[in-house]
Structure 1
Amino acid sequence: MTHFARGGSMAKPTTRQLRSDERRRHILDAARERAEAEGWAAVTTRHLADAIGYTQPVLYRHFPGGKTEIMRALAFEGFVELAHQSRLAAESATGRGAVEAVAIAYLDFAAAHPAVYEAMFQQPIDTRFASEDTEPELRAGFEALRDAVRDDGDGTRTEVFWGALHGISELERAGRMRPGDRSRRIAELAACFGPAD
């Protein structure tokens, strides 16, 4: 977290601010660990307070909205992680290869972090997509997909690609798709959305 002094210059964070940032990070890490291990139903403010050795009032001082606000913070972190992984994947390829690389990165992220992915897309966290005031974290994730499919239009092509990836990830997690056929599904996506090299 960056801190600014009056007038916009960067200020060295105080010891108090550093402690506050550290407590906030501990809360988020404990929530993510518990959610990934046991699901969001197992994450409660009481459990989190006990797990990190803070009282519930301390937890609410950092996250006044409680569990919902914690999930929202982790969802936003998830979008940042997913955008970063998608961009890294796309760097090593072009055309259809880039689409395949991004699809693999997306599906691997969803499979490796199911609780964060759930917070990103399924929990009611009042997140706005495709609007003028879309948060930068969400915009970055969309732009990473948009760049992969070279969408120069209004974003519809990207939305369809994203929808296909999300659908595949959900169906795979539910065991509704043959695990051994993922590479064929990705090749089909690349054929539909990837420009020729």
Structure 2
Amino acid sequence: MSVQERKERERAARERLILATARELAEQLGWDAVTTRRLAERIEYSQPVLYSHFRGKREIIGAVALVGASEMAAALRAAASAADSPRARVSALARTYLDFAAHNPAVYDAMFQLDGGLAFAKENTPGPLKDAFAALLESLGEVAGDGVHPALFTEVFWAALHGLATLTRAGRLPPEETERRTELLVDRLAML
């Protein structure tokens, strides 16, 4: 292994440490607590080292969002592959999405609520965000119904899930009804 390869590997490891630490802080204390100073202290590197990886908090949020999108895509695909019928796949996707949002609130915020400098639904949308959408589209396309464009159906389904996740987390929807809401969404939107 060359010196350059070792340096690249160390840089990648340092970047993963920064992101893992930012995520941990955000999950524990909220994104307001994630500062470059606090991150530098936690990872035991100087602030200039942080800035050699990321231009600031906005870029860190964006990077956490991309990691989260990859994790969500993998979870959605695993849930869909374990289901044995179209309805079971749609139901599994909905539950997995809502579980991800509930168990990873800071990551979910980075993905959808905070400004991480990421473009959605554009040519320059980063691959992990496109892949998370594709993970939904792969199973939802088969239940969109006649004459309904699968991507449009997936957008509406995703928007409904996002609304449920956001409103439940904000305390505006009682969490004990999450299961019934999920079933209602699946029954009404998916043409099964």
Q: Would you call these one fold, judging by a TM-score over 0.5? A: yes
Question: Is structure 2 residue 64 aligned with structure 1 residue 83?
Answer: no
Match of 1:3 in 2: none
Question: Is structure 2 residue 63 aligned with structure 1 residue 73?
Answer: yes
Question: Counterpart of 1:99 in structure 2: which amino acid?
Answer: V
Match of 2:45 in 1: 54
Question: Counterpart of 2:133 in structure 1: which amino acid?
Answer: F
Unaligned runs of 5+ in 2: none
Question: Counterpart of 1:75 in structure 2: which amino acid?
Answer: A
1:15 to partner: Cα distance: 1.4
Corresponding pairs, count: 185
Question: Is structure 2 residue 93 aligned with structure 1 residue 102?
Answer: yes
Contact 2:61 2:115 in 1 (8 A): no
Instruction: Give per-residue Cα distances to partners, 1:9-35, cap 9 Å, x unaligned.
Output: xx9972111111111111111111000
2:190 to 178, 189, 194: 194
Report the TM-score when normalising by structure 2: 0.90
Question: Is structure 2 residue 140 aligned with structure 1 residue 144?
Answer: no
Whose helix fraction is larger, Structure 1's or Structure 2's? 2
Question: Is structure 2 residue 12 aligned with structure 1 residue 21?
Answer: yes
1:116 to 99, 107, 110: 107
Counterpart CA distance in 2 for 1:103 and 1:12 is 47
Counterpart CA distance in 1 for 2:169 and 2:10 is 38
Contact 1:31 1:43 in 2 (8 A): yes
Counterpart CA distance in 2 for 1:13 and 1:39 is 37
1:135 to 105, 119, 126: 126
Instruction: Give per-residue Cα distances to partners, 1:53-90, cap 9 Å, x unaligned.
Output: 10111111111x11111111000011111111011111
Unaligned runs of 5+ in 1: 1-10
RMSD: 1.8
Contact 1:171 1:177 in 2 (8 A): yes
Contact 1:97 1:190 in 2 (8 A): no
